[in-house]
Structure 1
C-alpha cells in the first residue's frame, strides 16, 4: 500500500520505517527542511537502536521511504495518512494545535482527491478528540463526509523508547478504532503481516481511551514500585528482593515494577496529566492518578536525600552526573529525573559535570530553555567523574557498570538493578538497606 506519515518525531520516524519494512511505499511529511533533508539521506533525527541501519536500507537501497515538505502531494500520492504529530503538555492539558493544523491540511488535500482515503490518528489524544476535533476539521476543509468519502481511524501507538523499532516491527497488540467497515478493512490490509490475535477492534473513542489507560496504569505501577522502595529504605529492607518477588506473581508480572528516581519521557508525564485534567473536566476525577503525579514529581529528591544522608550538605560540592536521558538507549530527556536533579543542584551552588551516551544535546537545549547554563558537558564518563566529590547516576545505562569500579568518591545510583552496592564500599542505591 501507499502510506503517508505526517510528523517525523519519534512516532513518525519509527512507524514509517516499520511500515516500509513490511513492503509499503512510505512518505514521511514534516515542516522542517533540515529533518526532511536528513531523512532523505537515511539519517534519523532521533536516536533509536537499529533505526539508522533500517532507514539506510529503506531510503537508499530499497527506496521505499522518502520524506517531503509537501503535505498535499503526500496525501494525493497515498491511500492512508497517519497523523503522528506531538500533543505536548500545556499547563497540565493537552495541546492540540499541531493536530488541528494537520487536520486542516489533510482536509484541504482531500477536497481535490477523488479516491477514498483513510485518515488515521496515531498521536495520543484524549477521548473525543478524533471525532470532535479531527473529524470536524477534515469534513469542514474537505467538504466531504467521514465514512462515505473518506475513512477515519484511531490507531494508538505503544512504542517503548529505546526498543521502539522492535516494538514497531513486532508489536504486542494493534488497536484499531473505526466507525465503518470499509475503513476497518483497509486498516487490516495495512497490517496484513500481523496475525489476527494481535488485533483489538473498538470504536474510535474507546481506542483513544485504551492508550491513556495503558500509560496511566504503567505510570501507576512504576510509582507503586517507588513508594514501596521508599518504605523499604526506611525499614532497612532491600526493595529489589521485595519487587522481584511480587513481580514473579503471574497476576502482577515484573514489567515496569522497578524503582528509581521517577518516570519521565515523552508519554507518561504528559499523558497522565492530560487524562487527570480530562477527568476533572468531566467531574469524574482520577484520584489515584492525581497521587501518581504528586509522588513522581518529588521522587527525584530521594536520590538527593540519600546523598545528603551519607555526606551531609552537598551544597557547593563538585558533582558528576552520569545519565541525562529519562531511560537508557534513548536520547530523550523530556521530563527526565536527571534534569530535575540538575536544577536542584544548581540552586545549591554545585559545580556540575554531566555526561550521557545519547542525551547530551537535548538536555543542554532543555536546560538552557530554563536558563540553566552552569553545567559542564563532558565527552566521556571518565571526564565526568574526574575531580568530583560525589557522583549521581540517575539513569542506568549499562555502560556505566564499567566506570563504577573506577570511582573512588561516594556514588549514588537511582536504579538498584544497575549494580550490587555490596560489591562497592562507595556505592549507595535507592531501595537498598542503609549501611
Structure 2
C-alpha cells in the first residue's frame, strides 16, 4: 500500500517507519526542512530506541522516503496519515491550526479517491470538521477515518509492532476494509467503531492512566504519614485483575507530550458541553503538586536551601526519551533556583532539549551521574535511567559533600540503602533504618 505520513514527530515518524517495515511504500512529509535534511543524512530528530536502525533498513529497501513536498506525496498515496501536532492553547483546548492547515493542503493536492487517516490526538468532532474542510475544497471522493495512537515514548517502536488493540473509527465500508487490512499484520484485536467514539477512546484512555498515577501518588503521601510502604500497597492492589499493576508506581508525577495535554483537553471538552469533570481536575491538581514533594524533602533536611549545591539526575519526563515537555524537572529546577540553590544537572539524552526550554543561566551541566554528584549536598533522582539505578552508592557517597539522596522514583531498595550512611528519602515508603544506625544502638545497649 502507498502511504503518505504528514508530520515527523513521535507519532508520524514511528508510524511511517513501522508501516514501511511491514512492506508498505511510505513517504514521510514535514514542512521543517531541517528535519527532512537530518533524515536524508541518516540522522533521527527524536530519540527512540530501535528507530534509527529501522529507518536505515527501510530506506535501503526503497520502502521509506522523506520529503518537504506535500502535494506530490499526496498524489502518489492511497492513504494519507495526519500526524501533525495539536498543542494546547492557553485554555487547555487542543490547537487545531496545524492540522486544519495540513488538511487544506491535502484537499488541494488530491487527484483521486483518498483515505485520510487521523492519528493526531483531536477533540471529538474534529474528523467531521476535517471532512467538511476537504469537501469544500474538492469534489473528488474521500473518506476520513480516526485511528488514535497509544504509543509510549521510549517504547514506541515496540508498541507499534505489539499493540494491545487497534481502534478504527470509520463511517465507510470501503475505508474500513482498507484500514483494517493495513493493520491486520499488527494484531487481530481490531475495534471498529464510529468516528466520535474513536476520538473519545484516545482521551478517555490517557485520562484514566493519568488518574491511576495521581491516585497512587496520593496513596503514597498517606503511606508516608501512617508508616506504610506504597510499593507493597501497589503490589497488593495490582494483583487484583480488576485493577492491574501498570501505572501504579508512585513518584513525582507524569509529564510528557500526552498526559498533561490530553487531560487538560478532556476537561475543556467536558466544559464545552457544560459538564464539570471534577475527578480529572483533581488528577491534574494532584500531579502538579506531587513534583514539589522533592522540594519539601530537601527543605525538611536542610531548612534554608540558599547556597546548597543540589545535583539533579534526570531531565526527561521518563527514561529512554529525550522529551522534556511538561517534565517535572522543569518546575523543580525553577523552584530550586528561586530558593537560592546551586544546581548541577545531568541526563544521558535530554540535556540539549532541556537547555533549549529552561531559559535559566548559571546551571552547571555535567557529563555523567558521578560527576554530577561531586561536592553536592544532595542528589535528587528525577528520571529512572539505568545509569542512576545502577550507580555504586559507595562511590556516590565518596564524591558528595553530604550523603543525602532524594529518590523521586523509588529505584533503590531498602537493602541497598541500609548498607550505606545515606540520608535517604523516597516517595511513600517508611524511612529506612540504616545498618550503621542499628550498630550504633547495639553498642549503646
TM-score when normalising by structure 2: 0.92
Larger radius of gyration: 2
2:146 is the counterpart of 1:154: yes
**Superposition deviation, residue 356 in structure 1:** 0.4
> What pairs up with 1:243-262 in 2 under 5 angstroms?
243-262=234-253
**Alpha-carbon distance in structure 1 between the residues aligned to 2:208 and 2:411:** 22
2:238–2:245 CA contact under 8 A, matched in 1: yes
Structure 1: gaps of 5 or more residues? none
2:189 is the counterpart of 1:193: no
In structure 2, the residue matched to 1:414 is 408
SS in 2 for 1:257: coil
Task: Give the aligned CA root-mean-square deviation in angstroms.
Answer: 1.3
**Alpha-carbon distance in structure 1 between the residues aligned to 2:419 and 2:205:** 37
**Superposition deviation, residue 54 in structure 1:** 1.0
1:396–1:418 CA contact under 8 A, matched in 2: no
In structure 2, the residue matched to 1:97 is 97
1:263–1:337 CA contact under 8 A, matched in 2: yes
**Alpha-carbon distance in structure 1 between the residues aligned to 2:6 and 2:405:** 44
**Alpha-carbon distance in structure 2 between the residues aligned to 1:391 and 1:178:** 51
Query: Aligned pair in 2 of structure 1 residues 138, 192: CA closer, same or farther (>3 Å)?
Result: same
2:371 is the counterpart of 1:361: no
**Alpha-carbon distance in structure 1 between the residues aligned to 2:120 and 2:303:** 46
**Superposition deviation, residue 163 in structure 1:** 0.5
**Superposition deviation, residue 53 in structure 1:** 1.1
2:94–2:122 CA contact under 8 A, matched in 1: yes
2:167–2:193 CA contact under 8 A, matched in 1: yes
2:389–2:411 CA contact under 8 A, matched in 1: no
Q: In the alignment, which of 139, 164, 185 is matched to residue 156 of structure 2?
A: 164
SS in 1 for 2:390: helix
**Superposition deviation, residue 175 in structure 1:** 0.4
2:386 is the counterpart of 1:398: yes
SS in 1 for 2:367: coil
SS in 1 for 2:317: coil
SS in 1 for 2:391: helix
Q: In the alignment, which of 295, 300, 307 is matched to residue 304 of structure 1?
A: 295
Query: Aligned pair in 2 of structure 1 residues 67, 245: CA closer, same or farther (>3 Å)?
Result: same
**Alpha-carbon distance in structure 2 between the residues aligned to 1:387 and 1:2:** 57
SS in 2 for 1:93: coil
2:205 is the counterpart of 1:214: yes
**Superposition deviation, residue 319 in structure 1:** 0.9
**Alpha-carbon distance in structure 1 between the residues aligned to 2:159 and 2:426:** 30
Please say which of residues 238-247 and 404-413 is displaced more in the overlay.
404-413
Equivalent pairs, count: 422
In structure 2, the residue matched to 1:62 is 61
**Alpha-carbon distance in structure 2 between the residues aligned to 1:195 and 1:433:** 43
2:135 is the counterpart of 1:139: yes
SS in 2 for 1:162: coil
**Alpha-carbon distance in structure 2 between the residues aligned to 1:129 and 1:424:** 56
